[in-house]
A and B are shown apart, each in its own frame.
Chain A
Amino acid sequence: MRVLKFLIPLTVFAVLVGFFAKGLYLDPREVPSPLIGKPSPEFALTRLDQPGQTIRRADMLGKVWMLNVWASWCEACRDEHPYLVDFARLKALPIYGLDYKDQREPAQGWLAERGNPYDASLFDADGRVGIDFGVYGVPETFIIDKQGVIRYKKIGALTPEVLRDTVLPLVRKLNG
């Protein structure tokens, strides 16, 4: 009984410390996406560089591809961009951009200046497709499989570690 008197508060305290310690390492900005494991939303958008040409969801079926949400006004995209340019050289999978709430001219200038890792960029001027993809912070990156199902989502800038340790193995698995 006497021992319990010490043990109970000590246990409660230890559990609390455990929760707080875990909380320190959680990022409250990372909201789990309900879209993972679900078919990607429908879209039909023109290409950034060719306003006459439309790319639809159906056009992308049959391949594992990356959708990277970016914009010329987005600060964090500048940090991410060189890693994406390097990654594109590996030709691990087709990389498509979603140019989110942007204007054609500055967006194209941005790519000309920093290099273009994208097979094509979809031009989402009013951000409607971004909303359907649940985008709330640019950059965001999706990996979509051959059936058009979203398999992975990264909120915030990609890093070489994420690309090497998470994206590449997943792409190999989905293609394998």
Chain B
Amino acid sequence: MADARRLLAAALLALSAALPLRAADVPASAASAADATVRFRAPAAHLTAADPAIEARMLEITGELRCLVCQNQTIADSHADLAVDLREQVREMLKKGMTADQIRAYMTDRYGDFVLYRPPFKGGTAVLWLGPGVLLAVALAALVLVIRRRSQLPDDQFEPDPALDDDPRSGTPA
């Protein structure tokens, strides 16, 4: 009986501990959403590079860059004028042989880290990256504390469960 209660409490706490985990997923899931938009991209670009390899590289890079005009779309996905221009810019930079890092630097020089769907780890983004982990640690610590305390309580500290009152194994005094 008491075991069942402990189990339930543990399950609830584990669930609440798992919630911050989902927050930790955000940067990664944003990136996978970006991958998806590349794959299911509408034929947005009226300008496309003749070289399919460059086009694919361009979409891969701009798929991880945020469009400044419609902020929840990637530059690969957006129909905004600026996004069309920036895709063309990236094509040209790729043709010149620039690396993905150089292109990302070109973007952050102009628009800041805000354009990156995968922000770098530094002072300003430490809370973003570490916050979910800290929350998880706090939740786990709370879980351990509660379970420990409860396991030391005598059974009569728990409310009797009426459905199981006839159970001979129940240690609850009548």
Contact = CB atoms under 8 A, between A and B. Distances in A.
A29 B82 CA distance: 15
B158 interface: no
Interface stretch (B11-19, B21-29, B103-111, B160-168): B103-111
A31 B111 CA distance: 8
B88 to A, nearest CB: 9
B71 interface: yes
Given A131-B86, A131-B89, A137-B69, A101 B111 contact: no
B108 A29 contact: no
Nearest to A126: B85
Contact of B110 (A29, A134, A137): A134
Contact of B71 (A29, A131, A132, A134): A29
B54 interface: no
B71 A35 contact: no
Nearest to A41: B110
Interface in A125-146: 126-127, 131-134, 136-137
Contact of A131 (B69, B85, B112, B114): B85
Interface string A13-31: 0000000000000001101
A52 interface: no
Interface in B65-87: 68-69, 71, 81-82, 85-86
Nearest to B89: A131
A62 B111 CA distance: 27
A28 B68 CA distance: 10
A54 interface: no
A136 B110 CA distance: 10
For A28, A31, A32, A133, the residue with the greatest tally of chain B CB atoms inside 10 Å of its CB is A31
Interface in B84-120: 85-86, 89, 108-112, 114
Given A34-B108, A136-B111, 9 more contacts: A33-B112, A35-B110, A101-B81, A126-B85, A127-B81, A131-B110, A134-B111, A136-B69, A137-B68
Contacts of B68: 31, 136-137
A64 to B, nearest CB: 23
A33 B71 CA distance: 15
Given A29-B71, A137-B69, A132 B110 contact: yes
Given A28-B71, A29-B71, A137-B69, A34 B112 contact: yes
A83 to B, nearest CB: 24
A136 B86 CA distance: 11
Nearest to B69: A136
Nearest to A127: B85
A103 to B, nearest CB: 14
Interface in A31-64: 31-35
12 contacts: A31-B68, A31-B111, A31-B112, A32-B114, A33-B111, A34-B108, A35-B110, A101-B81, A131-B110, A134-B110, A136-B69, A137-B69
A28 B69 CA distance: 11
